[in-house]
Structure 1
Amino acid sequence: MPSRTYTEQINGARLVVEVLGPDDAPAMVVHHGAPGLGSRAEPVRSFGPFADSFRIVTFDARGSGASSETAPFTHEQWVADIEALRERFDLGQIVIAGGSYGGFLAMEYTLAHQDQVAALVLRDTAANTDFDYLAVERARATDRVQIEEWVIERIGTGNFTSNEEFERYWRGILPLYDYSYDPAATERKAGSTSYHYATHNAAFGQNMPTYNLVPRLREISVPTLVTVGRHDWRTPVAASQVIADGVDGAELVVFEQSGHSPQLEEPELFQSTVRDFLRRAGIGPS
C-alpha cells in the first residue's frame, strides 16, 4: 500500500503527516529526532517495512522539515501535538517510537498519556543530560575528521544565529554519527536537510537544561524496548542502560555494528528485534 501524505492544522501549526500501511492495522506513531534538522524522512525509511502489518504514522514536528515554524518549541507542545494527531487520525491505543530527541518525546508522551500507549520503542536516546559531556570529548578525540573548535563548543548548546551557521555546524559533526564513515553519504544527508535554527535553539538552549526523566522512569508501565548502537557518539550505551534500569521490565538491545542509527546501519536485525518485541507484547501479528 503506498504512503498517504496529509497537511493538517494541529494546535495552531501546519503539520505534514505521512501514513503507511492498512488503516485497520495496529497504529505505530514514529517521532523523528533532531528538532530543526530531522524530518519524517528517516522514520519513513526506518519503519516503512513495518507497514506490512502496522499503520505507521509519522510527521514533521512543528519547526522541522516541511511543517510550519510555529512556536512554542517545547516538550509540552510537541507532546500535545502527538496526542492531537492520535485523535485526528482516530488511532486508538498506539505504539509510540522515537529515536534520539524523538525518544525524549516518546517517553514524555508515554508519561503524559500512558493509557493511550500499548508499547514504547526507543532508539539511541537518553532520560537526562548526564552523558552529554562524552559527546564533546569524543568530538575532540576523533581521528575520523578534523572538527573545528567552534563546532565542538556548540554541541548541545542551541546557540545559533542563522540557518547558514547552523548548516556549517551540522556538516562539521555529521561524520561522527555513523559506524562506518562515508563522506559521500554524509554530504547527501547534509544537502537534503531542512535547517531551522530557531527550533534547534529552543530545543537545546531552553528545553534540555532542565530535562531529566530519570526520577519518573518507574512510572512507565507499558512494554518498553530500548535499542542503541554500540558506537553511538551522541547518546552512549550507558544512557540507554539508565532507561532500561529505570523502567520496570524494559529490554535493552545493543547493536554492535552501529553508531547513532542502528535502524539504518543494521536494518534487518533492528526490524527483527522490534517485531519480536511487539509480538511478545501481544501487538501485531503473532
Structure 2
Amino acid sequence: MLKILTINGARLHVEDQGEGPAILTLHGGLGLGSRQGDVAAFGVLASEGYRVVSYDQRGNGDSEAVAPYSHEQFIADTEELRQQLDLGKIILCGSSYGGFLALEYALKYPQNLAGIVLRDTAASNAYNDTAKKLALKSGLPGVDAEMLDRLFAGKTRSNEDFLQMYKAIQSLYFVTSDPEILEARLKGVKVHHETHNWAYANNIPTFNLVDRLKTIQVPMLVLCGRHDWITPLAASEEIAREVPNSRLVVFEHSGHSPQREEPEKFYREVRRFLAKAFSKAELK
C-alpha cells in the first residue's frame, strides 16, 4: 500500500506491505535510488509474516526534495517514520549508501532495533580511491579520472550530467549484465543530482564510523558480492570484524547486487537471519 506521509517537513512516498514484525529498508544511490529496488528485493517477505516498509528518502524517487540531505536528517526521518507507523522494534536493512545510514541509526537508536541487514556497504569513506581505480581499470567508454573525480566529489552539473555518469558506470555493478536490461533500468530512474552533490560534498568527506562499530550490539548480517567495485569486499570484512554480533556472507558470483545475481542464496541468508533475530527480540 502506498502512503504519502509528511516526515520532518518533507512529503515522503512510503510502501507499507504485510503484517507482522517490521522490516524497514533504506535504499542506496542517493540522487538515483528509490524504494523500488527495495520493494523488489524485500517485498516478497510481506507474504511470509513480516511487515515490510520501504520509502523514497527525501530528495530521492518520488519524495519531496527538501534539504538538508545530511546523515542526521536522514536518520531523523527514519526514526520519525518508525514512530508514525508504530513499527516497534525493527530490523533495518540498508543497501549501499543506505547501509551508511543504517549504521548511523544503529549508533543513535540501538534500543529500536531487533537486528540489521547490510548489503554492499561501508563504514567509512576509505574505499573511494579503490573504487575509482577499479572503474578506471575497466576501460569502459566515458569512464575517466575527471568524471570519477566529479562524481565522488559531488560536482555533477545537472540531472542529465549525473545520469550520463551513471550510464557510463552502470555495468560495473554486475558480474554479468545485459545491455538491454541496463538500458531499461535507466529509463526508470528518477534523477536528483542536487541530493547526490550534497551527500558527496558534505557527508562523505567526514564519514568514518569504524572506531564506533564495536559498540553496536544488535545482531547484524553483512552481505557483499565478491566483485563489488563501489563498496569493495574489504569494507564489509571490516564491518564484520569490528561488530561483535555479526556474520559476513560473501557472494562469489556477484557484484554490487547479490539480490539480483544470486537471489536464492540471498533470500536463504536473509530469511534465516530474520527468523533468528526476531525470535530473540521484544518487538514492542
TM range (shorter): over 0.9
2:23, 2:189 → 1: CA distance? 24
Which stretch of the first structure deviates more once superposed, 92-101 or 173-182?
Answer: 173-182
| TM-aligned CA deviation for residue 152 of structure 1 | 2.7
1:53, 1:230 → 2: CA distance? 31
* Corresponding residue number in structure 1 for 2:220: 224
Q: Deviations over 1:211-262 (max 9, x none)?
A: 0000110110000010000110111110001100110021000001110011
Q: Deviations over 1:18-50 (max 9, x none)?
A: 01112xx00000110011100000000000111
2:62, 2:245 → 1: CA distance? 37
- Paired amino acid for 1:36: G
Which stretch of the first structure deviates more once superposed, 270-279 or 101-110?
Answer: 270-279
SS of 2:117's equivalent in the other structure is strand
1:10 aligns with 2:32: no
| TM-aligned CA deviation for residue 161 of structure 1 | 1.8
Aligned positions of 1:200-215 closer than 5 A: 200-215=196-211
1:55 aligns with 2:51: yes
2:232, 2:90 → 1: CA distance? 27
1:116 aligns with 2:88: no
- Aligned-CA RMSD value: 1.2
* Corresponding residue number in structure 1 for 2:41: 46
- Paired amino acid for 2:16: V
| TM-aligned CA deviation for residue 112 of structure 1 | 0.8
2:38, 2:52 → 1: CA distance? 9
1:278 aligns with 2:257: no
1:224, 1:88 → 2: CA distance? 25
Assess if the C-alpha contact under 8 Å between 1:244 and 1:252 holds in 2.
Answer: yes
1:207, 1:216 → 2: CA distance? 17
Aligned positions of 1:1-286 closer than 5 A: 4-22=1-19, 25-51=20-46, 52-143=48-139, 145-149=140-144, 150-283=146-279
| TM-aligned CA deviation for residue 282 of structure 1 | 4.1
2:184, 2:154 → 1: CA distance? 24
Q: Deviations over 1:72-120 (max 9, x none)?
A: 0000000000000000000001000011000001111111110000001
2:117, 2:143 → 1: CA distance? 35
- Paired amino acid for 1:214: V
Assess if the C-alpha contact under 8 Å between 1:26 and 1:283 holds in 2.
Answer: no
Assess if the C-alpha contact under 8 Å between 2:17 and 2:53 holds in 1.
Answer: yes
Give 4+ residue runs of structure 1 displaced > 4 Å after superposition.
none
2:79, 2:86 → 1: CA distance? 10
2:231, 2:119 → 1: CA distance? 9
**Percent of residue pairs bearing the same amino acid type:** 46
Assess if the C-alpha contact under 8 Å between 1:136 and 1:155 holds in 2.
Answer: no
SS of 1:45's equivalent in the other structure is helix
